[in-house]
Structure 1
Amino acid sequence: MLKLLALDRFTILLIVMVILATIVPVSGLAANIFSVITSGAIAILFFLHGAKISREALVDGVMHWKFHLVVFTFTFALFPLLGLMAKPVLLPILGQELYWGFLFMCFLPSTVQSSIAFTSVAKGNVASAVCSASFSNLIGMFITPILVSFFILGQSQQGFDPTSSIIKITLLLLVPFVLGQLLRPYVYPHMLKTPSLVKFFDQSTILMVVYGAFSGAVVAGLWTIVSWQTLLILTLVCSIFLTLIMLLAFYIPKWLGFNKADQIAIFFCSSKKTLASGVPMAQILFIGQPLGMIVLPIMIFHQIQLMVCGVIANYWSKHPVSEPQE
């Protein structure tokens, strides 16, 4: 119950940021200063993520290559494929910018903290989940910009080169993560004394980025374009899409013969998309684009996936997934 209340608090805070950006949007010079502060917070967040993850867990998980191949296929092949296949249906009902945001969500890596947390609650393979989720975020720093440049920006901006975006993402996300790994022996003991530090930075940074993104969108006239009917349709689309992905992530590992612990970890790592990495990437990739509309789908999808996965993880902790039949 406390976990559900904590989840609700963060959801409420996200809504508050959107309302605050609607009433008091940051703009002009203040927006530029706020953007610099937000970038610094993002770098600190990924430094803490790098320091938190155990190298031993990463090494142990890397050996389980079949597991990671399945998660990688879901994250960077199946998700994008389904998103592209849905274009004839979604583009007319969502419009160009929201469909871009939905497709961008499909191109993102998996979550890290929630994938590991839900896998742990459901008694899955935590070591492989740690490795897979971390690897997904690292490789996503390169794959996501390439997918975006080819399927979104490459069609709207002639001659768009993803190289500069990859370099910016590397400097903002990957370099701090690697520094965190290198300095882990010195930083992690202090993190153990303040276990809520990463969560605080994680949520605070997302809230800052969401406020900044929606401020720019409101100034550009977001709520004159997106109606409450469109929000309901987008929520329904995200719910249907998540249901389809979860069904595939539940049955395919069984068919492939993975054991119970691996089934659970694959399910949670394969069915989710990251908001923590997604919004900073959007800031870099979609310069000059309606950022508020771009990040709206991942915000909605993220909240739905957390609530649904929380229920499933709690259920599986009491009713374990059955072993695959020989």
Structure 2
Amino acid sequence: MALKYFAVDRFTILLVLMVLLASFFPISGQWAEGFNTLTTIAIAILFFLHGAKLSREAVIQGMMHWRLHSLVFAFTFIVFPLLGLLAKPILQPMLGDALYLGFLFLCFLPSTVQSSIAFTSVAGGNVAGAVCSASFSNIIGMFITPILVSFFILGQSEHAYDPSSAIIKIVALLLVPFVLGQLLRTWIYPYMVKVPKLVKAFDQGSILMVVYGAFSSAVIAGLWQQLDAATLFYLIVACSVLLTIIMLLAFYIPKWLGFNRPDQITIFFCGSKKTLASGVPMAQILFIGQPMGMLVLPIMIFHQIQLMVCGVIAAKWAKQNLDTSDQ
């Protein structure tokens, strides 16, 4: 099951196709305005479905494990940002201002939800804890990410920036639909179970729409004149090194703190990943008028690397658990 993430999956291929489509046929003018409106509606529906999908029972059970959630929170919103900020003297000259800001924005994002839970389940971790921790990360990230962006990115610019307006927009676009989904879960979830492929298609389709719109704007602004092959290679290496460091920390620190094996697995997968699903919509709100393509490129690359690496690790741990149970 987890090995499917090691290969280049269909969603990754579609992401690349959206970048290519935007490169050759970027949408602009009134068409772009209409497309952005549709994208906003699609994102709101996406988070409504996320809310309807989440089991309240699992959340209540998982909420009791505050030590686990505190450590995942520390990795997501303290360790990741510190690594991104410490890397500035090396990465900013290497990547340029826009790509480095995208890399730093990646470090400020919440964890993933679906893949964190899926990998935790495959590897034999604490699934209830993963559901609660990943979901809490996304909810609290709607407030923390804009504050971090305001202080460390936009706060450094010449223009004054008020994070409260961005938080209000994020709450309206992401959190309100999520809460509505939770409230209506009793009626909505049975239909979601009947059409899982449709839900998945909508989930991925909304992200593809955002990526196409973002890269269309970037291409019109001259993205490919600013980004060469060497810089792209440096970005891939930077994302790989970041993931390696955070995974080593997320592997050893829970051991040193005395967490049991299932909790170690949960902390590893929830604390080492960043969300593409929430990250791209947040970027649209937080970086209005900024080079959007350059800002979301790091999270797109990191997203695929984390899926491939976590897929291999989850499969290996699942095999170890199977071998142990056979003894």
The equivalent of 2:263 in structure 1 is: 262
- Distance (whole Å) between structure 1 residues aligned to residue 5 and residue 308 of structure 2: 8
Residues 115, 321 of structure 1: CA spacing in aligned structure 2 closer, same or farther, 3 A cutoff? farther
- After TM superposition, the structure 1 = structure 2 runs for residues 1-326 of structure 1, keeping only pairs within 5 Å, are 3-4=4-5, 8-320=9-321
Tell me how far 1:129 sits from its aligned partner: 0.1
Please list the CA deviations of residues 207-263 of structure 1 after superposition, one character each: whole Å capped at 9, or x if unmatched.
110000000000000000001111111001100110111000000111111111001
Tell me how far 1:322 sits from its aligned partner: 12
Residue pair 2:6, 2:311 contacting (<8 A) in 1 also: no
Tell me how far 1:6 sits from its aligned partner: 7.8
Indicate the RMSD between aligned Cα atoms, in angstroms: 1.6
- Distance (whole Å) between structure 1 residues aligned to residue 36 and residue 271 of structure 2: 31
AA aligned to 1:254 is: K
AA aligned to 1:19 is: L
AA aligned to 1:237 is: A
Residue pair 1:122, 1:313 contacting (<8 A) in 2 also: yes
AA aligned to 1:217 is: A
AA aligned to 2:81 is: P
Tell me how far 1:11 sits from its aligned partner: 1.0
Residue pair 2:283, 2:292 contacting (<8 A) in 1 also: yes
Tell me how far 1:192 sits from its aligned partner: 1.1
AA aligned to 2:268 is: F
- Distance (whole Å) between structure 1 residues aligned to residue 237 and residue 7 of structure 2: 24
Please list the CA deviations of residues 96-144 of structure 1 after superposition, one character each: whole Å capped at 9, or x if unmatched.
0000000000000000000000001111100000000000000000000
SS of structure 2 residue aligned to 1:119: helix
Residues 157, 169 of structure 1: CA spacing in aligned structure 2 closer, same or farther, 3 A cutoff? farther
- Distance (whole Å) between structure 1 residues aligned to residue 242 and residue 77 of structure 2: 15
Residue pair 1:83, 1:102 contacting (<8 A) in 2 also: yes
Please list the CA deviations of residues 149-169 of structure 1 after superposition, one character each: whole Å capped at 9, or x if unmatched.
000001114321001100000
AA aligned to 1:104 is: F
Tell me how far 1:203 sits from its aligned partner: 1.0
Residue pair 2:126, 2:263 contacting (<8 A) in 1 also: yes
AA aligned to 1:124 is: G
Matched length: 323
Residue pair 2:6, 2:312 contacting (<8 A) in 1 also: no
Residue pair 1:260, 1:322 contacting (<8 A) in 2 also: no
Tell me how far 1:5 sits from its aligned partner: 8.1
Identity of aligned residues (%): 72
Tell me how far 1:4 sits from its aligned partner: 4.0
Tell me how far 1:10 sits from its aligned partner: 1.1
Larger deviation, residues 36-45 vs 197-206: 197-206
- Distance (whole Å) between structure 2 residues aligned to residue 5 and residue 294 of structure 1: 25
- Distance (whole Å) between structure 1 residues aligned to residue 213 and residue 272 of structure 2: 28
Please list the CA deviations of residues 27-69 of structure 1 after superposition, one character each: whole Å capped at 9, or x if unmatched.
0111110000001110010000000001111111111000000
- Distance (whole Å) between structure 1 residues aligned to residue 83 and residue 39 of structure 2: 32
Gapped regions of structure 1 (runs ≥ 5): none
Residues 92, 62 of structure 1: CA spacing in aligned structure 2 closer, same or farther, 3 A cutoff? same
Moved over 3 A (4+): 4-7, 320-323
SS of structure 2 residue aligned to 1:277: helix
Residues 301, 322 of structure 1: CA spacing in aligned structure 2 closer, same or farther, 3 A cutoff? farther
- Distance (whole Å) between structure 2 residues aligned to residue 148 and residue 188 of structure 1: 34
Per the normalisation by structure 2, the TM-score is: 0.96
AA aligned to 1:34 is: F
- Distance (whole Å) between structure 2 residues aligned to residue 96 and residue 217 of structure 1: 15
Residue pair 1:49, 1:198 contacting (<8 A) in 2 also: no
- Distance (whole Å) between structure 1 residues aligned to residue 122 and residue 32 of structure 2: 40
Per the normalisation by structure 1, the TM-score is: 0.96
Residue pair 1:264, 1:321 contacting (<8 A) in 2 also: no
Residues 145, 4 of structure 1: CA spacing in aligned structure 2 closer, same or farther, 3 A cutoff? closer
AA aligned to 1:132 is: S
SS of structure 2 residue aligned to 1:37: helix
Residue pair 1:105, 1:298 contacting (<8 A) in 2 also: yes
Residues 224, 250 of structure 1: CA spacing in aligned structure 2 closer, same or farther, 3 A cutoff? same
Gapped regions of structure 2 (runs ≥ 5): none
